[in-house]
Amino acid sequence: MDITSLSNHKLPKISSYYNVKLTLLVNKYFGYWPSLNVNQRFYAIYTFFSFSLTIGAILLAELVYVIVYIRDFNKLTSISLLLFTNVVHVSKIQNLIRKRKQIRHLLEYVETGQFSNETDKYERIVTYFSWFGLFHYAINVLFGMGAITGWSIISLFSVDNDKIDRRLPSDGWFPYDPLKSPAFELTCVYEIIILHVCAFHNLALDHLTVGFMSVVCCQFVILNCNLQSIGDDVLNAENIKNDLSNSLKNKENDDLIYKRLVKCVEDHMTIIQFAKDVENIFNLPVFLQFLESCLVICVTAYQISQDSNKGTSEILGNFSYLMCMVYQLFVYCWYGNSILLLSESVVQAAFSGNWWKSSERYKRALRLMMVRAGRPLTITTGNLLTLSLSTFMGILKASYSFFTVLQSTNKKI
């Protein structure tokens, strides 16, 4: 990344790392991220009702539907679209609730810890990453909402059809006949609202993880800036000329520069530890998201290819859903790839400084740091996949392979 372009952008200033704070705010209102001063017992009740009335109710209806139509291949592939998504959504919620303490620890680094010390100095860089994270979230929400809107239009236009031709936005089993008026209209409205709400929250959970990854990227850029500028204010030609007759002043400058390098080393180790904490906290949900996206991509493509009589709304809905899954994978892999590249650039940043004007003590310490920085930082999921653009392309190829298997299986049936 070009540090000059990151520093000279014209984006309006917003709260530092606002993309992370926004996703936590969304989870707060959904009942999964309580404030420290809230009554925990009442908030737990709020969490239960929020879960039961939204994702819990939809998921239960889908699971019973799978059991009832276990032998119907077409119905199973139809319900699998949202079933995969909702199962992974629940796993993300469970992970957020179970690891609140660890996530709060990450948040302390961002708000009051080591990462907040130079926020004002590098305000333009922090603002850039905050806006970039919001941009990714907005694009992902746009695709998700487009999919559900497309399915909703189909249901709304089928209200006047015969009972057999009516379709709900999401398939599921209900203890009543959902295709009979007025139950159909009420169920349809309920599903449209809940599916939009769940999609918004599901993507907020994804971009909480992505937001913390963007913090790692931002801190690497700031670290590189600090490494490149170490000693610029004391190791210039004028200072050197004046200090030749003042060994004490030279010693003070050397100590000051060395302390700055030690600070950079400490920041580097903190960034690495922060990234590993993010990896450990969100390891399982991200891995399940990758599996889900791979399956949903091929199942969506299978559904589109099987029926040429689908309406425009359904085709657009399925296409938006497909793009939402692809974009979810892309954002994870893009930030993982950025962390990999930025961690490798630390060596170059260290070599770009004024090390040749410094003392031997400084040079020895810098060499040690460069040796450690020579090992690139990677984010893995499931201890199997490295988040990178090459992994993204590999998953798309695997999805296509599974799609062809699904097609051949259906022909045999």
Write the pLDDT tens digit of every residue in 48-70: 999 999 999 999 998 999 888 88
Tell me, what's the pLDDT at 218? 92
Q: What sections of 158-246 are H helices per DSSP?
A: 183-229, 237-243
Distance CA 107, CA 112 (A): 8
The token pair at 370 is: 């460069």
Give the CA dihedral 311, 317, 318, 321, nearest 10 degrees.
180
* Residues in contact with 343: Cβ distance below 8 Å, sequence separation at least 6, in sequence order: 220, 272, 373, 376, 377
Tell me, what's the pLDDT at 95? 94
Tell me, what's the pLDDT at 238? 44
Distance CA 277, CA 1 (A): 24
The radius of gyration computed from the CA coordinates of the chain, to the nearest angstrom, equals 26
User: Residue 103: is its pLDDT beyond 60?
Assistant: yes
Give, as one character, the DSSP assignment of residue 176. S
DSSP element (H, E) containing 273: helix 247-306
> Which of 286, 8, 295 is closest to 124 using CA atoms?
8
For the segment 279-291, the average pLDDT, to the nearest whole number, is 91
Query: pLDDT tens across 198-256, in order?
Result: 999 999 999 999 999 999 999 999 999 888 888 766 655 445 444 444 555 567 777 78
Query: pLDDT tens across 349-402, in order?
Result: 888 877 777 778 888 888 888 888 888 899 998 888 889 999 899 888 887 777
Distance CA 189, CA 186 (A): 5
Mean pLDDT over the full length of the chain: 83
Give, as one character, the DSSP assignment of residue 15. -
Distance CA 273, CA 286 (A): 19
Residue with structure tokens 């296509």?
400
Query: Which amino acid would we find at residue 140?
Result: N
Of residues 76 and 57, the one with the higher pLDDT is: 57
Q: How does residue 108 score in pLDDT terms, banded at 50, 70 and 90? A: confident
User: Residue 47: is its pLDDT beyond 90?
Assistant: yes
The mean-pLDDT minimum among 45-54, 292-301, 320-329 falls in 292-301
Distance CA 191, CA 58 (A): 8
Q: How many CB atoms lie within 10 A of CB 93?
A: 23
Distance CA 390, CA 359 (A): 42
pTM of the model: 0.88
